[in-house]
Amino acid sequence: MQVKSLLLTGGALLAASSGAFASGFQVGLTGAKNVGMGGTGTGLYLDQASQFFNPGAFAFAPTGFQIGGNMAIPRISFRPGDADQGQRTLQNTNVFPFSGFIGFGPKEGKWRVGAGVYTPFGSELHYAQGWEGRYSLTDINLRSVMAQATVAYAITPQFSIGGGVTTLVLGDVDLQRDIPVQAQGSTAPAHAQLTGKAEHKVGYNLGVMFKPSDKLSVGISYRSAVNAHVTDGDVKVTGLPASAAGSFTATKFDVTLPLPDVYSFGVGVRPTDKLLLAFDANLVGWSRYQSLDFRYLNGVLGGNALSSSKRQYQDALAFRIGGQYKVTDNFTVRAGTFYDFSAVRDGFVTPETPDADRIGVTAGLGYTFGERFGIDASFLFEDFMKRSQSQDDLISNGTADRVAGTYKTTIYVPGVQLYVKF
Amino acid sequence: MTTLFSTVKTARPALALLGLSLAGLAGCQTNIDAPPSASAGTLDFTSYVSVGNSLTSGYSDGGLYNEAQATSFPALLAQQFATTNKGPAAFVQPAFSGAKKDGSGYIKLQIVNGALAPVVPSAANKFLGEQVAYTGANPALPTELEAYTGAQPDNLGVPGISVLSASAKASLVPQVAGAAKAYGVLNNFYQRLLPAADRGTKDYVTYIGQKTPTFFTCWMGNNDVLTYATNGGVAVATNPFSGLTDTASFRRGYRDIVTTISKAGTVKGVVANIPNVTNIPYFNTVTVAAVAAAFKAANVASPGVFIQVNGTPAVRLATSADLLTLTAQSLVAAGAGSTPGNPLLNQYVLDAAEITTVVTRTNQLNAIIANEAARFKVPVADMNTFFTSIATRGIYTNAVNNTATFASGNLFGLDGVHPTPRGYAVVANEWIRVINNYYGATIPNVDPNTYRGVLLP
């Protein structure tokens, strides 16, 4: 019940951002210290966020409670490929990924137990009214909140293991697009909206940490995949001509969205007491996302009981480097950078996830009040490579259900976190 | 969960404060390098004039009416030309007055006996409630339409006109040349454009010669084969323009048209050629196989579809090589073609020999168009190839697959011949492609998805 009370007290700021920080629709804005250091953390044991990054490292982390939130401010532009009507600017929606963790255990002891909530995946985009791709997508809002319970044990002072059980406590999807069918006397085409909630699927994470000295730590972790399975979602079609009603009889839908597994390797180096350097590499198993298949219940949508759209994501690597420097006993500065490879192949970019290789730069500050209390602030800037696809690319890939053109995204994410050490 | 959501709202402002302090950074919208900005190159569109037939006028769903006229391909071109800052200040189209906005009326899809069917407006069905522009005041031309009284339009498209009927110089047969001269009293769409004094005396070429364009498009010749084809390869004795136009007349007429509108080759422009009319939904919606199956369902002993042909015997069974017209739909539904004594009449069938004749003539006329275009140094928009490509593959416009399928394909309207607004947008983009290629202009394309396909009840 730890998890539930955390949810209520933590000022849960609902998730979602357009793939901030990691490929595909991962969010991963977990732990302000980590965000400030380029998203590293697998080889570190800084605070409670290690439950997320590497539960093995959690055994060496101090105990305490921390809660943090981010405001992701995306700036997304789209320029149509063939029919150039000038640049489209999305209605930029600020979203609020958050995380909160609590950890207990004896101060110098060998074990830790903890719990946390965080927002590992999400995407919210609203395209301009009447944009070129409205028959592909007009709006998407994907949200997820995961809760985790964690145990960690230091087998020796140099070596620890840990694991967590994760649950998708909240997962909801809201997808909308126009249907290329128009009624007599109407100036707008019909519109479809699919909304639903995911089942509470359970997953896990595991990690080990090897800490030969205070100057070096090495971690490996794994977070399992979870299939976000929406059953009994609602289909709502508006503006439909009466004569087409027979082709749009579905009232419910069923879909599975795979949330991929992540392999991470990280190293932490402490050349001096004041300086910490970190390096992380992640491999995200996006290749399990091959197609997005909606199954319609109680009828058909657009004459089909099934719709299948190719995704064919590929596993994606990310490399991160970061560091922190203790300017005074109370004041710490952080910085980092990362490069994240896209999960989406060329010619497969969809309006719901305009993914691209991206480079990120981060900065952070930390200040402690006395022995127990502290605040961390982080700032992340992410620059997506410009990405184009032509109608011919789409036709040859069998992906003509999406839009030809060029996407460009940047994201700014300020974040703040408060913590108390027990 | 309700609690969760309500806390979100209260928590936002606190974070927004932090966001605001960084607003200077976050305020910059991303920018994608623009492609070369819209440019007319060496072209001047300040007086753009379009010459042509129904396809130029914006005719759709079997009629000319204001809504479809507003999305005629010349109107869309003028709109795109305007983005170059060398476009026309105003592109004038001969619209009907507001109270008669539905012009000649247009076919609508309605549910008839539980199934969707195209319904043609007529006096009997009160024109489906449309605000038509028939005057009913001219016994010699019962289809007379409200006269257009504004200045001479820039869109000079006249539904029904052919090269043969446009130029009094085309035919050497005095009666035919005379009919071209008198075309203003024969064609209600041409009549409404002409001042009363010019009706019956001014041929179309003389009429278009009154304009002083800086740029023109010319899409003529379709009706020199289409009128014959859509009538099942049957020429009407009383109509000199209902057959296939001979190549010699076509060459004379076409040269007359292009000489006139290009001011003897001094004005730049583009001409388009003639699509293969057998590709259009008009000939591919009511199929012999489907009709035969329907007959079989009604009568197991039915051997197929009986059609009237020239020759002896005058009736035979249709084969898959015969194309039935869209207009045959209601007739076969009433039993036409089900017995040798009640065959589907010749004008509803384009048989294999007629198809060959039509296609051969189309190719001959297109060769003339290509020659004349070269003579006047203007490019040809190859609509023949373009329409064939659409008929075989369709055309994707941003997640929408548009095809040449009747009604549901989005591109062709309910007469099975003329494009929908979406279809006209796709056609406009093909013109733009040719203009950009030939003249080195960078005129942006139209977004076809902005324009509708067929409207459903």
B18 contacts A180? CB cut-off 8 A: no
Q: Do residues B450 and B420 make contact, with C-beta atoms less than 8 angstroms apart? A: no
Tens-place pLDDT, residues B204-241: 999 999 999 999 999 999 999 999 999 989 988 889 99
Mutate which of B39, B398, B431 to test chain A, going by most A C-beta atoms within 10 A? B398
Contact across the interface for B19 and A71, Cβ inside 8 Å: yes
Mean predicted lDDT score pLDDT of chain A: 88
The H or E element that residue B13 is part of is helix B2-21
Q: How far is A421 from A104, CA to CA, in rounded Å?
A: 10
Instruction: Compute the CA torsion angle B101, B106, B111, B117 (nearest 10 deg).
Output: -170
SS3 B294: helix
Chain-chain contact of B7 with A12 (C-beta, under 8 angstroms)? yes
Tokens read off for B262: 């290009």
Nearest-by-Cβ selection for B447 from A80, A180, A241: A80
Contacts B401 to A, Cβ<8 Å: 400
* Chain A positions in Cβ-Cβ contact with residue B448 (cut-off 8 Å): 83
Measure in Å the smallest separation between the Cα of A306 and chain B Cα atoms.
Answer: 17
Domains of chain B in start order, with CATH, are: 48-284+350-450 (3.40.50.1110), 288-349 (no CATH)
* Residue of B28, B445, B455 lying closest to A84 (CB–CB): B445
Q: Which residues in chain B have Cβ-Cβ distances shorter than 8 Å to A134?
A: 449
CA distance A155 to A167: 27
DSSP B450: G
Query: pLDDT at position A314, please?
Result: 94
- Residue B343 is given by DSSP the state P
Domains, chain A, in order of start with CATH, read 2-421 (2.40.160.60)
Please answer whether residues B145 and B94 qualify as being in contact, where contact means their C-beta atoms are separated by less than 8 angstroms: no
Residues of B in contact with A404 (CB under 8 A): 398
Q: Which runs of E-coded beta strand occur in A81-138? A: 88-89, 98-104, 111-118, 122-126
Gap between the Cα atoms of B79 and B90, Å rounded: 9
- Residue B35 — pLDDT band, cuts 50, 70, 90? low
The shortest C-alpha distance from A325 to chain B (Å) reads 23
| Nearest chain B residue to A11, by CA | B7
**How distant, in Å, are the alpha carbons of A3, A38, A72, A202, B260 from that of A146?**
10, 22, 19, 9, 74
- Mean pLDDT, all residues of chain B: 90
| A159-183 and A189-197 strand pairing | antiparallel
Residue A183 touches partner B, C-beta closer than 8 Å: yes
Looking at residue A72, what DSSP letter applies?
B
**Which residues have CB under 8 Å from B306's CB, separation 6+?**
B315, B316, B317, B318, B337, B338, B339, B340, B342, B343, B344
Contact B29 A130 (CB under 8 A): no
pLDDT in tens, A222-267: 999 999 899 999 999 999 999 888 889 999 999 998 889 999 999 9
What pLDDT score was predicted for residue B36?
A: 64
B-chain CB neighbours of A85 within 8 Å are 444, 447
DSSP B163: H
- Predicted confidence (pLDDT) per residue in B149-168, tens digit: 999 999 999 999 999 999 99
Torsion sign across C-alpha atoms B291, B292, B294, B295: positive
| Residue A84 to residue A80: CA distance in whole angstroms | 5
DSSP B208-253: HTT---SEEEEE--THHHHHHHHTTT---TT-TTSSPPPHHHHHHH
Cβ–Cβ gap B398/A183 under 8 Å: no
Considering only A114-123, B190-199, B409-418, which range has the smallest mean pLDDT?
Answer: A114-123
A404 touches chain B (CB under 8 A): yes
Nearest by CB to A84, which of B35, B108, B111?
B35
Query: Does A181 contact B456 at a Cβ distance shorter than 8 Å?
Result: yes
Q: Which of B158, B238, B227 is nearest to B191 (CA)?
A: B158
ipTM above 0.85, yes or no: no
What is the C-alpha separation between A107 and A104, in angstroms, rounded?
9
Question: What is the per-residue pLDDT across A7-59, written as a single tens digit (0 to 9) for each?
Answer: 222 222 222 233 444 566 777 688 999 999 999 999 999 999 999 999 999 99
Transcribe A213-235 into DSSP letters. Answer: ETTEEEEEEEE--EEEEEEEEEE
Alpha carbons within 13 A on the beta-carbon side of A6: 24
d(CA B44, CA B50): 14
Q: For chain A, how long is the longest CA-to-CA vector?
A: 76
Q: Closest residue of B to A384, CA-based?
A: B30
pLDDT of res. B172: 97
Give the CA distances from residue A374 to residues A365, A419, B87, in Å, rounded to whole numbers and listed in that order: 11, 5, 64
Measured between beta carbons, which residues in chain A are less than 8 angstroms from residue B4? 7-8, 12, 14, 170
Q: Residue B109 has which token pair?
A: 């899809």
